[in-house]
Structure 1
Amino acid sequence: MGETEQRLVAAAERLFAEHGVGAVSLRTVMQAAGTNVAAIHYHFGSKEGLLDAVLRSRLDQVAAERQAALPAVDVTVADLAHAFVRPVVAVLEAGGEHWIRLVGRLLATGDDGLATLSESFLRRNAAFVALLERLSPGVPRRTLNFRLTQAMHLTLTVLGDIDRTRRLQASDATTEEVVADLADVVTSVLAGPPTARST
């Protein structure tokens, strides 16, 4: 991706996260990126193309890190939860807080881009889903997909604004402590009710 494209993606990521996709004009993105009027149409074709580029800019990173975090043998639901949460933490540490907030916003509001996100999530995380199915014998795929969606929403909500999480709890927990607590809750979400747990 060239320098102009990177500036447009970074500006759009921040503006879409702060105001919502529908509330941000292409002209606003271009001004924030310091580009000319034709730049978005030249590089991305449309606002939808720009949003797609913003979403995909970090999805490959998350999916690759999630796959790498999965143990080769003896996987538990707790392993899956850590492999689910840690790649999003890596995005946060790489300066991707706006991306996390944007994706969380899309999940919460059903705004433009949700279809791209849903399709991409299941495709890029096929190995993860297969392991969860193996650890959840007899649980319908619909239920597993629901658990995954809720785990993703929770992870993005917490990591998209850790300071808010601290304020809600009147806590001075470190980021690592928040992440550890989050991984515990995601483990419970993925495992389902105690009677359904096999690990």
Structure 2
Amino acid sequence: MSKAQFSTKERILDAAETLFAQYGFGGTSLRQVTSQADVNIAAVNYHFGSKENLVNEVFRRRMDEMSAQRLSRLQAAVKTDPADLKGILAAFVEPPLAMAQDRHGGGAFIRVIARAYAEKNDSLRRFLSEQYGHVLREFGKAISACMPGLSKEELYWRLDFLAGALTYAMADFGMIKRPAGVSELEHRERAAKELIRFAAAGFKAGKIN
């Protein structure tokens, strides 16, 4: 891919990510994307073919790398100590929080993820399940090995709750704000530490009668 092609494609993805974060997937038109990216509709069709593919590529651009980091860290954690639940949870939690801190669009992408939770978009959910469902399954296997008393249903309930809490922490609009004098990195590290401790207690909780 030439430098010019790369630049055009990235401008389209940047514009789409920003607009999807602000207006949602249904509320953003390709005309808005082309206007913000300063390209014509032919460029969008050339690089993506359709709005659905553009939505998918906005996710793929960031989630491919994040998923690879998660799986690499999970493999290392399990190799070091397969019974270390907190180490496994850190592999799940810390890469997304680092992405949220990324000044090059990370914050906008977090809002895009929130849109994916909030909007009913069956095509997008199917794409995310097909492309990244294996990541959740790998973590499920590792956590199950640590918590053999959990049923599969209990395990996946708790994984869903963890994913929701992580999204909330990434958005950084909760009760805890970054204190004055504390760097963004320190704040994110504290958030990861607290979330991992919270999640570990949740996975270790007894059965519900």
Same fold (TM over 0.5): yes
Indicate the residue corresponding to 1:102 in structure 2. Answer: 112
- Separation (CA, whole Å) in 2 of partners of 1:131 and 1:15: 37
Equivalent position amino acid for 2:14 in 1: A
Note the C-alpha offset of 1:128: 2.2
Of residues 37-46 and 101-110 in structure 1, the stretch that sits farther from structure 2 once superposed is: 101-110
Note the C-alpha offset of 1:158: 1.9
Equivalent position amino acid for 2:107 in 1: E
**Aligned counterpart in structure 2 of residue 55 of structure 1, from 56, 59, 78:** 59
Indicate the residue corresponding to 2:134 in structure 1. Answer: 123
- Separation (CA, whole Å) in 1 of partners of 2:43 and 2:204: 51
Identity of aligned residues (%): 30
Indicate the residue corresponding to 1:83 in structure 2. Answer: 91
**Aligned counterpart in structure 1 of residue 69 of structure 2, from 65, 68, 72:** 65
Q: TM-score, normalised by structure 2?
A: 0.80
Note the C-alpha offset of 1:155: 1.2
**Aligned counterpart in structure 2 of residue 144 of structure 1, from 124, 132, 155:** 155
**Which runs of 5 or more residues in structure 2 are unaligned?**
none
Deviations 1:46-100 (A, max 9, x none): 1100001001111111111112223123142211221111111221233311112
**Aligned counterpart in structure 1 of residue 25 of structure 2, from 17, 21, 41:** 21
Note the C-alpha offset of 1:192: 2.6
Are the equivalent residues in 2 in contact too, given 1:12–1:54 (CA < 8 A)? yes
**Which runs of 5 or more residues in structure 1 are unaligned?**
none
- Separation (CA, whole Å) in 2 of partners of 1:111 and 1:3: 29
Of residues 16-25 and 2-11 in structure 1, the stretch that sits farther from structure 2 once superposed is: 2-11
Equivalent position amino acid for 2:98 in 1: A
Of residues 139-148 and 175-184 in structure 1, the stretch that sits farther from structure 2 once superposed is: 175-184
Q: What's the RMSD between the two structures over aligned residues?
A: 2.4
Indicate the residue corresponding to 2:48 in structure 1. Answer: 44
Note the C-alpha offset of 1:193: 5.1
Indicate the residue corresponding to 2:10 in structure 1. Answer: 6
Are the equivalent residues in 1 in contact too, given 2:100–2:110 (CA < 8 A)? yes
Indicate the residue corresponding to 1:172 in structure 2. Answer: 179
- Separation (CA, whole Å) in 2 of partners of 1:181 and 1:51: 29
- Separation (CA, whole Å) in 2 of partners of 1:143 and 1:48: 34
Note the C-alpha offset of 1:157: 2.0
Deviations 1:147-169 (A, max 9, x none): 22221222122212x2x23xx34
Runs of 4+ in 1 over 4 A off after TM superposition: none
Indicate the residue corresponding to 1:133 in structure 2. Answer: 144
Larger radius of gyration, structure 1 or 2? 2
Note the C-alpha offset of 1:194: 2.6
Deviations 1:120-158 (A, max 9, x none): 332234432220121121423233222222212221222
Q: TM-score, normalised by structure 1?
A: 0.83
Are the equivalent residues in 2 in contact too, given 1:107–1:153 (CA < 8 A)? no
Q: Give the secondary-structure state (helix, strand or coil) at the position aligned to 2:41.
A: coil
